[in-house]
């Protein structure tokens, strides 16, 4: 069995823990920047990088892998955490749920999460730290940049490009050949029919730019 640490100890960690059941990964530690009490996974949570370093110094044994259990629109933070853990000698692990479909021609970057009943289509490319959440799908010839997150049930049609750190919310639909800019947010249930500029939030059907009043 490969031993794995999750950085992040709340909701996304619960989903990841279920996803590694029946695999060759065994959860042995949790860490989080927040002070999290002992949670559902039955492990004490280390607080911050310093406690992690102290634990690593004391630890002996097998090579240690990691996954970053930080979801939502925090893709940039997820990549920063990945880089920190790599600096400390941990090995990035991608997690693919046993019920997920990944096309043989798809390209999967390090530390991706492809969760229950999700699908990654032919010739699609996933960057580093991408999350394809429960029952989400990304069709053929798409390119998803580092830190992109597709929420549960999101649907991305063929030949779509989603730049780094963008978040596509629960149940959203992105039509073919659309471009979604870096750091953009697609609201839950939105239907994206036009390109989405860098850093904006779009909502509705058809999706339109959301402006706070």
The catalytic residues are 140
Helices (H), the chain: 11-19, 48-58, 75-87
**210, 192 Cβ separation under 8 angstroms:** no
Considering only CA atoms, give the Rg of the chain: 17
**99, 81 Cβ separation under 8 angstroms:** no
**197, 211 Cβ separation under 8 angstroms:** no
Q: Of the candidates 148, 193, 156, 195, which has an alpha carbon nearest to the alpha carbon of residue 172? A: 156
Tokens of 76: 């940039």
Structural element, H or E, at residue 157: none
φ/ψ of 178, rounded to 5, equals: -85, 150
Tokens of 36: 């999290």
DSSP state of 196: B
């Amino acid at each position: 069995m490969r031993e794995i640490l999750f950085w992040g100890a709340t909701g996304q960690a619960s989903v990841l823990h279920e996803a590694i059941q029946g695999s060759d990964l065994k959860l042995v530690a949790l860490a989080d920047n927040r002070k999290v009490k002992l949670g559902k996974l039955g492990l004490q949570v280390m607080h911050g990088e310093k406690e992690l370093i102290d634990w690593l110094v004391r630890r002996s044994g097998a090579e240690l892998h990691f996954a970053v259990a930080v979801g939502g629109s925090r893709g940039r933070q997820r990549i920063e955490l990945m880089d920190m853990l790599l600096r400390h000698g941990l090995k990035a692990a991608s997690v693919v749920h046993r019920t997920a479909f990944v096309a043989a021609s798809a390209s999967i970057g390090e530390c991706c999460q492809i969760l229950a009943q999700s699908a990654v289509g032919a010739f699609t490319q996933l960057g580093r730290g991408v999350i394809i959440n429960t029952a989400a799908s990304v069709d053929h010839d798409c390119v998803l940049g580092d830190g992109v997150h597709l929420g549960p049930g999101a649907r991305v049609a063929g030949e779509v490009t989603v730049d780094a750190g963008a978040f596509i919310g629960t149940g959203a639909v992105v039509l073919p050949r659309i471009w979604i800019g870096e750091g953009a947010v697609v609201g839950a249930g939105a239907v994206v029919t036009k390109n989405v500029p860098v850093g904006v939030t779009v909502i509705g059907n058809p999706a339109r730019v959301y402006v706070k009043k």
